[in-house]
Amino acid sequence: MKRRFRIGEMARLFQISASTLRYYDQIGLFRPGYVDSETQYRYYNFEQFVVLDTIIFLKKNGFSIDDIHHQLANRTAENTKELLESKQREIENEMARLKKVSAMIQSKIETIDEGLTLRQSPSFVYRYFPERPITYLYNDQPVDLFVASDAIFLKDLEELASAGGGYDGFFTGDMGTMVDMDSLHGEGPAKYFAVFIFISKDKETAASPSLPEGTYACYPHRGPYETIKESYAVMLDHLKEDGRQISGTPLEVSVLDESVTNDSSAYVTWIQIPVTKND
């Protein structure tokens, strides 16, 4: 049986490139085991097959070259078990992280689907919402967000950067506003006394504020924010006809915003007004 193999033969047998074998030789990970004294040709021998198999297995299962180098130099059953257990923990942690990422992406897909449905088939409806945990970016005197939004977001970014707790970015469906009712009547823009961010249950604390549960009158405003008072006029007419009373602060939730479209006419802002029935 043949027991010596040139680099091309090894590459063919183990289905890896010759350049990879040359690289392994160069870094001292896997070198030919025999040099012909007359021709100076270098050969791999049959006894090295198990070593190359080990390298291929570990490399294809996520181990680094440094890990493999260390493993080959310190092979014991105990060391091998420890190496595999460490990689298994790493993989399980990454799987948990990817599961959270998948859930977040799925949530955003559902938000966009909802926005597209609201844009294509707008309707005035009453809907129950449970408590929704939030955190505030701004909660003070009513302001015109077209004037004040840049300063609000810059202040929040500076506070987050100073705290050093990491930054995940904002995306459509993350953000909402609380509307100053008085500004909805008469001339001038709608004003807002709060800007908030929805937070996930795993980030909620005992001190986290929340939007109150209850029945909300809901209507999608389609188009740029500057014209949103037109949609409030439609909603207030519906509430009067239905004999409903406003029982809390109107909310606006962006479900299709500039993070997903550069066409302001395609924006969808879901207006939600807490209501009760007249006695």
The CATH number assigned to the domain with range 4-75 reads 1.10.1660.10
Place 162 in a pLDDT band, splitting at 50, 70 and 90.
Answer: confident
Record: fold of 105-277: Multidrug-efflux Transporter 1 Regulator Bmrr; Chain A (3.20.80)
| 193-230: pLDDT as tens digits | 999 999 887 777 777 899 999 999 999 999 999 999 99
| 75-123: pLDDT as tens digits | 999 999 999 999 999 999 999 999 999 999 999 999 999 999 999 999 9
| 32-64: pLDDT as tens digits | 998 888 888 889 999 999 999 999 999 999 999
pLDDT score recorded for residue 216:
97
Q: Give the residue extent of every domain in the chain.
A: 4-75, 105-277
pLDDT score recorded for residue 118:
94
- Whether residue 279 has pLDDT greater than 80: no
Half-sphere exposure of 195 (CA within 13 A, CB side): 19
pLDDT score recorded for residue 1:
64
Give the span between the Cα atoms of 39 and 211, in whole angstroms.
Answer: 82
